[in-house]
Chain A
């Protein structure tokens, strides 16, 4: 059952995917026309989820977008486009799954409140994420290679521990 609210989420999701695709195309078009076309194709494929509702397409599309953003970054493309593409892709991916989640249950007694809370959280996360990343891009901290390795190692260890703890808790 499609309600006006679901239609709005669908529109928002399409917008996010569109923004992500166009940003990525704009980022890679300088390096390669072919890559831009491929990204456009992936974006269109992702949008096809609206018709057939296969969530795994969104998973792979987001993965391809991130890989393409990394590749474009290595090619020296402007970072603003890559960051925008990744953040919009994350929002599009989340909305794709959220839409499927809502459609799985036709009965939603407090749908407005539920969706409003979700969209607020998503807007906050993507907005703050984009800002933090942009700030990080603007800031310059001089550390040597060993220091970088050490910091990255600590980050990876902490992240791994937190994910493991989380998995243990959920089990």
Chain B
């Protein structure tokens, strides 16, 4: 019940009953309440005037790391007898040490601070301003307000290092890298034999080939290794990303995307990231540490999106990706995505499809009954058919059981041994 309403009622009630019953002694029961309210009015607090500053250390952290928050404030107005300061935490942020609420009295010019430690899941968090509640010393009148003091905290996904991911797009860049370029030159892997040219290192001379011809020398040619353009497409559509139990398939696909982005960038490639599902969220291609940070930040704020426009892959803006470059699509897939993926291949892109097994993921949270088992079996058949069709269209597919973390299986499934086995 509202305090002032209750007190008013308790003041008026004895007065009115006393008047109605012609009993003056009843009026005295209102006296303590009158005095109580009078003191509240006398000490009624003015709106607090606080100058506050919040510092987050660090303001960019990796999932699971703690961040230390200090909220310092100074009273620039009148003295406050009873002040409750509460630093409101955004949803998803967990307090691990200290307190976010503090009750204190602040004289004019006096300062205070709240120190606490938080941890958070992947995401971009905006702290609203601290909530202030002032009251008189008896707590008769209370007024609340909120300071405008927004701060931003980036919690980036954890990066797992994996050895080189084997890709072989038809188009390479002029810069040196680790991707075989299908042209001869300096490199590591044997590419062919050509006639000796003045200036060629003598240790490249292939004596066995030269022995077959008079007056002609041959040298070994190696396959050049260059950097390439890689377009990562992360599917954030609501229809494909399941929320099963406390886990989300999106978190798994984000882990895979982070691992892939880091692997491609660490070998000097130019990587762009497109979050497909909501509005156009495109991280322009780039390379190096700055680009890695950009991609991590884009992935930190990635969430499941619902859009009528982007509910199918047909609206993927392919103009963003250079022709014949490498595309990596990370998606649990929908049955009707087949044609759109095949059309990407038809446009000349080299496509690597990393597809987490959504059916197995969901089945782990369902009670095993004959009906669910039959449904899972049918869904698996449909998925196998889809993957086989895509495989026939030339799409490299990695069917990933999300029970095993991506970085643990990526080395064997996507390493160079994959290309060698394909070549055989």
Contacts and interface: CB of A to CB of B under 8 A. Distances in A.
Interface of A: 56, 59-60, 62-63, 66-67, 69-70, 73-74, 79, 82-83, 86-87, 90, 94, 97-98, 101-102, 104-111, 113-114, 117-118, 121-122, 124-126, 128-130, 132-134, 136-137, 145, 148-149, 152, 155-156, 159, 162-163, 166-167, 169-170
Interface in B238-270: none
B150 interface: no
Interface string B26-42: 11110111111001010
B112 to A, nearest CB: 7
B13 A101 contact: no
> Counting chain A CB atoms within 10 Å of each CB, which of B104, B114, B141 scores highest?
B104
A110 B345 CA distance: 70
B35 A79 contact: no
B101 A104 contact: yes
26 contacts: A60-B1, A70-B13, A70-B26, A82-B29, A83-B29, A83-B32, A86-B29, A90-B36, A94-B139, A97-B139, A104-B84, A109-B102, A109-B104, A110-B104, A111-B103, A114-B103, A121-B39, A125-B39, A125-B138, A129-B33, A130-B32, A133-B31, A159-B8, A163-B8, A169-B44, A170-B143
> Counting chain A CB atoms within 10 Å of each CB, which of B10, B17, B31, B104 scores highest?
B31
B22 A145 contact: yes
Interface string B20-60: 01111111110111111001010010000000000000000
Contact of A128 (B4, B35, B105, B135): B35
Interface size class of B (residues with CB under 8 A): 35 or more
Contact of A107 (B11, B31, B34, B101): B101
Given A105-B86, A114-B82, 8 more contacts: A62-B10, A63-B6, A66-B10, A70-B13, A83-B29, A97-B139, A107-B103, A129-B32
B359 to A, nearest CB: 47
A69 B19 CA distance: 16
A148 B81 contact: no
Contact of A74 (B21, B33, B98): B21
B12 interface: yes
Given A125-B36, A170-B141, A163 B105 contact: no
A166 B102 contact: no
Nearest to A167: B4
Interface string B120-163: 00000000000000010111010100000000000000000000
Nearest to A85: B29
Contacts of B13: 66-67, 70
B99 interface: yes
Given A156-B12, A170-B143, A105 B101 contact: yes
A90 B98 CA distance: 35
Contact of A129 (B35, B99, B112): B35
A60 B10 CA distance: 11
B15 interface: yes
B14 interface: yes
A111 B103 CA distance: 8
A79 B25 contact: yes
A70 B112 CA distance: 47
Given A107-B114, A125-B138, A86 B32 contact: yes
A-B pairs, top 6 by smallest CB distance, nearest first, are: A129-B32, A105-B101, A107-B99, A133-B28, A59-B1, A133-B31
Contacts of A166: 4, 41, 44, 141
A94 B138 contact: yes
Contacts of B3: 97
Given A70-B17, A148-B19, A117 B99 contact: no
A131 to B, nearest CB: 9
Contacts of A152: 15, 19, 27
B28 A83 contact: yes
B374 interface: no
A105 B84 contact: yes
A11 B36 CA distance: 22
Given A66-B14, A70-B26, A149 B19 contact: yes
Contacts of A155: 15
Contact of B31 (A60, A106, A118, A136): A136
Contacts of B211: none
B9 interface: yes
A73 B25 CA distance: 8
B112 A62 contact: no
B87 to A, nearest CB: 11
Given A70-B14, A125-B32, A114 B104 contact: yes
Contact of A136 (B28, B41, B104, B143): B28
Contacts of B138: 94, 118, 121-122, 125
A163 to B, nearest CB: 6
Contact of B24 (A59, A101, A148): A148
> Counting chain A CB atoms within 10 Å of each CB, which of B11, B21, B28 scores highest?
B28
Contacts of B143: 170
Contacts of B4: 163, 166-167
